[in-house]
Amino acid sequence: MGHTRRGRETALAATVTALLVGALAAATAWLRLGPVARGTVWAEDGGVFLREHLALGPVASLVHPYAGYLHLVPRLVVDLALSFPVADYALVVSATSCLLAGAVCAAVFLLARDVVPSWPLRLVLAVVPVVLPTAPWEVSGNAANLHTFALFLTPWLLAYRSRTWWGAAGLAVVTVLALGTEVQAVLFLPLLALAWLPTRRPSPSGWLAGAQPHRLVPLPVTLAALAAGTAQVVTALTTTRVARPGDPTAADVVAGWLLQTFGGLWDADLTAVAGTVLDHGWWVLVVPAVLVLVVVLLGSVVALRSGRWRAAVLAVSLLVGAGVVWTAALLANRSADGRWSTAPPAALVTATPSRYAAAAGMLLTAAVVVAAAVLVERVVTSGRSGRRVVGRASRSGGAAHVVRSAVGWCVVAVLVTTWVANASTVTRRDGGPEWQPQFRDAVATCRADPRAVVEVRTAPWTAGVPCSLVLRDR
């Protein structure tokens, strides 16, 4: 009885902590946008998603493909926003998108506890999507780019081994939402194998404390992932994409990755990053990038040698995923292929953060934090009693741990310092046009002709809003 009560208290404390993490992350995303950006409708939010909601209805539009894949969560956000007065559409979309980003952070904080047991390091891992220097520029605070956050969440959803059937059912629903939103999430489907392997850590759930969950408990998430992944693949194979494919060279992929993905980890001002490269050469990015790669590989090797294979697999998967996501973006979209290796200096210094680089940057940062957590965590072994105890290593082993721990903490310190020093609030929506003020004249227009359609300016397009929506709440 005592074990059950303590287990429930532990589970409750973990849930409350995750909710606090999510709330703080959502607030961070909201504050980094600024008032003009929050009130400005971005791209598909006022374009295809809004237009197809009005044409197809809130249900049929959910599974209607666009750009070659499904966008389940963004369309749900649009459905929700249109249940409010249409003049508040921009603010509702921005607020909901920030809340969902916070929810992703909270979920990662919970799901990563078997891989990153130290809560401070897990906090650093969880908040990556909202503190990445380049996040506000385009991907944060709008429904059109929620697929980026779904991609960041997917590895943790698939690799996690649920403790209870209720937990597995809840994760299955979230898995459908995540994979039903981002087609590239199917790249992480092999991580489902981790969910079927037992975890060494005892369950924190009250009535299952100290016990392994049922061997079939990963089944709901597995079925959900395979179903949603299949739907995305079928959609991609049967839908014509309007975007023209790119034709990058290997040098373009590497140079663009260094400038956009890696450079964007440290500074949202890519003009400054490109200027440094032009002044001193590409080695200013190559050397630190190699060091980061070494840290991730070192963390993976240490994880394997100490039996932390989940951490090893996830660190490598996140690293590889960062490269694949960036490469796929250049191959699939000519607009993303900046010919980085041969671009003239003027083009490099005027480059702005790429939304594709932001997705790759989130995965790369997560790989670094996982590796750092492995290096920081003390190696443990099983004593005669069968319990896990602090490592009884030799002096050399103890010294090695001190060195590894120092490396891990230094990496995390550099990341956090960079986030604080480069907490950019610059976005593509800073110049407006704000949505709400445009409805002052729209009301008068619609009262004169209730069957008219009002053209409302967005960034960077326009939206056609029927007068029936404008007058609905008047």
Burial 391-418 (b: 16+ CB within 10 A, else e): eeeeeeeeeebeebeebbeebbeebeee
CA gap 448, 55 in Å, rounded: 24
Would you place residue 200 in the very low, low, confident or very high pLDDT band (cuts 50, 70, 90)?
low
Tens of pLDDT, residues 247-267: 999 999 999 999 999 999 989
Tokens of 67: 């750009």
pLDDT of 214: 74
pLDDT of 65: 96
Would you place residue 130 in the very low, low, confident or very high pLDDT band (cuts 50, 70, 90)?
very high
pTM of the model: 0.93
pLDDT of 209: 40
Whole-number average pLDDT of the chain:
90
**What value, to the nearest 5°, has the Cα angle with vertex 357 and ends 351 and 358?**
110
Q: How many CB atoms lie within 10 A of CB 213?
A: 19
Tens of pLDDT, residues 81-128: 999 999 999 999 999 999 999 999 999 999 999 999 999 999 999 999
More confident call, 13 vs 410: 410
pLDDT of 76: 98
Would you place residue 241 in the very low, low, confident or very high pLDDT band (cuts 50, 70, 90)?
confident
3-state DSSP assignment of residue 455 = strand
Percent of the chain residues topping a pLDDT of 70: 91
The mean pLDDT value for 132-143 works out to: 96
Asked if 23 contacts 102 with a C-beta cutoff of 8 angstroms, the reply is yes
The contacts of residue 102 (CB under 8 Å, 6+ apart) are 21, 22, 23, 24, 25, 26, 27, 29, 130
pLDDT of 4: 59
pLDDT of 401: 83
Cα 334 vs. chain centroid, distance in angstroms?
Answer: 23
The mean pLDDT value for 264-292 works out to: 95
Would you place residue 10 in the very low, low, confident or very high pLDDT band (cuts 50, 70, 90)?
confident
Tens of pLDDT, residues 213-236: 678 999 999 999 999 999 999 999
Tens of pLDDT, residues 413-471: 999 999 998 888 999 999 999 999 999 888 889 999 999 999 999 999 999 999 999 99
The mean pLDDT value for 186-204 works out to: 81
Would you place residue 15 in the very low, low, confident or very high pLDDT band (cuts 50, 70, 90)?
confident
Does residue 149 have a pLDDT over 50? yes
Asked if 15 contacts 37 with a C-beta cutoff of 8 angstroms, the reply is no
Cα 49 vs. chain centroid, distance in angstroms?
Answer: 21
Does residue 382 have a pLDDT over 60? no
Q: How many CB atoms lie within 10 A of CB 305?
A: 10
Does residue 472 have a pLDDT over 60? yes
The per-residue DSSP string of 213-279 comes to PPTTTTHHHHHHHHHHHHHHHHHHHHS---SPPP---HHHHHHHIIIIIIHHHH-S-HHHHHHHHHH
| CA distances, 30 to each of 27, 41, 73, 178, 271 (Å) | 5, 14, 19, 21, 25
Phi-psi region of 154 (alpha: psi -120 to 50; beta: other; left: phi over 0): alpha
Asked if 206 contacts 7 with a C-beta cutoff of 8 angstroms, the reply is yes
pLDDT of 336: 85
Would you place residue 159 in the very low, low, confident or very high pLDDT band (cuts 50, 70, 90)?
very high
What Rg, from alpha-carbon coordinates, does the chain have? 23
Does residue 67 have a pLDDT over 70? yes
Tens of pLDDT, residues 327-351: 999 999 888 888 888 989 999 999 9
The contacts of residue 214 (CB under 8 Å, 6+ apart) are 165
